[in-house]
Amino acid sequence: MSTVKVTDESFERDVLQSGTPVLVDFWAEWCGPCKQIAPALDQISEELAGAVTIAKVNIEESPTIPSRYGVRGIPTLMLFRDGQMASMKVGAMPKQKILEWLQETGVQAQTA
């Protein structure tokens, strides 16, 4: 499963009404650190498919949602569970740190 593009219009359906936890990446095209973490988020979306959805919100194309959640700097990662923001991290971090953060919040890889 790859990352999902989310807009102001689709946020309610794609994030708040999701049956699985959703990690939302607030980013912009001009943001270097955002581009740095993008490959890690793509890999995590594959590795944790079914356990978490990775969604990306471009703050310039969809400014309402970042404003509603008080996004001040990017990249900002927010984990939503059951329609509520459960945890947040600001700034770029390596893939392993993102995985550790997800595990701390209870997101685990599905075992076959």
Sheet holding 53-58, edge to edge: 4-5, 53-58, 22-27, 76-81, 84-90
The DSSP secondary structure of 29-73, one letter per residue, reads TT-HHHHHHHHHHHHHHHHTTTT-EEEEEETTT--HHHHHTT--S
CA distances from 47 to 5, 23, 33, 83 (A): 18, 14, 22, 23
* Positions marked catalytic: 31, 34
